[in-house]
Amino acid sequence: MCEDHMIRCHCGRSSASLMFRDEIFPEELVSTVYCPICSAGQEFDESTMIADNDWVIEFDMEVADFFRGRAAELVDDISPAALFDGGYATWRGVYPGDHLDSARERQELLKLARTDKLRYFKEFRDWGLKRMERLRLEGWRKAQTS
């Protein structure tokens, strides 16, 4: 089970929705989230941070180390990349706020389902493929592996 955690960025202008896979690590694993505005002046430390399209997540690696035994596959690699890419502390969706944007976009497509189901299924498929390609081209980390 995964819970959604809304975390405000360092400057307070934005927030990001994060998921913690199977709640293996607590929310305290994420010490700070930096939006594109507040990440601009932040010194990047690859031993504690992951960057994704000008957003930065800073992890508390002491918390990661303390809970590492709960994630057997991370025993040898407890890096920020392993935490993010493994879904242990990652965006809910492809980017911060993705779950809200995609729900709104799907809602628009749903109107078509009431009038032309076959066209709806085609449009829905095409929307998903085009959307992931757009996100990949924008540089979102999770879209690179899809």
The per-residue pLDDT string of the chain (146 residues; one tens digit each, 9 = 90 and over) reads 556 789 999 999 999 999 999 899 999 999 999 999 999 989 999 999 999 999 999 999 999 999 988 887 776 788 999 999 999 999 999 999 999 999 999 988 888 888 889 999 999 999 999 999 999 999 999 999 75
Regarding whether 80 and 102 lie in a shared domain, the answer is no
Residues whose CB is less than 8 angstroms from the CB of residue 14 and which lie 6 or more positions away in sequence, other chains included: 8, 35, 37, 96
Q: CB count, 10 Å around CB of 51?
A: 16
Q: How far is CA 108 from CA 94, 111, 125, in A?
A: 20, 6, 14
E strand or H helix that includes residue 8 = strand 4-8
Regarding whether 104 and 86 lie in a shared domain, the answer is no
Regarding whether 74 and 31 lie in a shared domain, the answer is yes
Regarding whether 67 and 40 lie in a shared domain, the answer is yes
Q: CB count, 10 Å around CB of 33?
A: 20
Regarding whether 68 and 86 lie in a shared domain, the answer is yes
Regarding whether 103 and 46 lie in a shared domain, the answer is no
Regarding whether 105 and 57 lie in a shared domain, the answer is no
Regarding whether 19 and 34 lie in a shared domain, the answer is yes
Domain of residue 69: give its range. Answer: 4-91
User: In whole angstroms, what is the distance from residue 50 CA to residue 140 CA?
Assistant: 12
DSSP-derived 3-state class of residue 91: strand
Regarding whether 81 and 14 lie in a shared domain, the answer is yes
Regarding whether 87 and 137 lie in a shared domain, the answer is no
Strand partners, 50: 57
With CA atoms as reference, report the closest residue to 28 among 93, 83, 96, 99. Answer: 83
Q: What is the pLDDT of residue 142?
A: 94
Regarding whether 109 and 83 lie in a shared domain, the answer is no
Domains: count for the chain: 2
Q: Residue 79 has which token pair?
A: 């890096």
Regarding whether 85 and 19 lie in a shared domain, the answer is yes
